[in-house]
Amino acid sequence: MNIAQLAETAQALVADGKGILAADESTGTIKKRFDGIRVESTFETRRDYRNMLFTTAGAAEYISGVILFEETLRQEAADGRRLAQIIVDAGMIPGIKVDAGAKPLALHPGETVTEGLDGLRDRLAEYAELGARFAKWRATYGIGPGLPSAACQDANAHALARYAAVCQEAGLVPIVEPEVLMDGDHDIDACEAVTETTLRRVYAALAAQDVVLEGTLLKPSMVISGADCPEQAGVEEVARRTVRTLRRCVAAAVPGIVFLSGGQSDELATQHLNAMNKLPARRPWKLSFSYGRALQAAPLKAWSGKPENLAAAQAAFLERARANGQAALGNWS
């Protein structure tokens, strides 16, 4: 394991004013998004849509890296160039989603554990040969009566830690993603409590597996009210509580924290990130973004599967990337 190289990649992914594009939607997920714009999801349409994002002029000023679905890591553009190489040539770093999805957790109805550890070492070796330099693994936690259970939190923390260790052994920076879901009517107090216990278990598990924190990134959800909560916390409260929770749980050795948008609107995700970076509280790590829908919703709608809309779609993507790059510096308005 080359610790210096891992740390260098992790730091590059959270360079000042830059964040990560999450373009790792599964085939099923991207089909749902394409259905929304009445475009058939095929090998070619998925390739062309993602290539449109990767070739946006100026995007690398705000986008440090791109998380890919396995299909995309292997794909070639219509001109024969590999999409991963197009990302590198544009000045960004290719990454790869490596988990096999959340599956029902035995004996715990309504809870899940993320699978995909079997064969991971061999897959990572192949992904590295294909150009990936970092990876991502997502675990999810619902909030409800008695949820999440300690069993759910421990099972997912252990899986995240084992994944991270295998990634570092293979020379890839692991992005650790424990997502506390917005689904439900819980208030922000409940979200803060669950987020804190979840992160404490994750970092205890990472330590137990000897993961080097300098060569990792954290991709958490924000401390936010449930989507159906009648009283929604304001932007400043979300920012304050999120940073407070992170300061309690995340070691200063971690180079950066790249938030997921988690169902928030494009602008709200940007507002929250900007507010966090404007807080006077000391933050030993960079606070940036690893957004999917919050970066892609506008360009996807503008593109609508039509080649003649390429320029408009790329302009929409660049605007969203620029806004979040500014928010990562606390300079967005």
> Which residues are the active-site residues?
177, 219
Specify burial of residue 205 (Cβ count, 10 A radius: 0-12, 13-18, 19+).
buried
| Spatial distance between the Cα atoms of 205 and 211, rounded to a whole number of angstroms | 9
| Spatial distance between the Cα atoms of 58 and 325, rounded to a whole number of angstroms | 12
Backbone angles phi, psi at 204, to 5 degrees: -65, -40
HSE-CB for 207 with a 13 A CA cutoff: 10
Length of the chain as a residue count:
333
Specify burial of residue 314 (Cβ count, 10 A radius: 0-12, 13-18, 19+).
buried
The β-bridge relationship of strands 112-114 and 102-104 is antiparallel
Backbone angles phi, psi at 220, to 5 degrees: -100, 170
| Spatial distance between the Cα atoms of 181 and 262, rounded to a whole number of angstroms | 7
Sole residue written with tokens 């790792």: 24
| Spatial distance between the Cα atoms of 213 and 217, rounded to a whole number of angstroms | 8
Strand locations in the chain (E): 19-23, 63-68, 93-97, 102-104, 112-114, 134-141, 173-180, 217-218, 256-259, 286-291
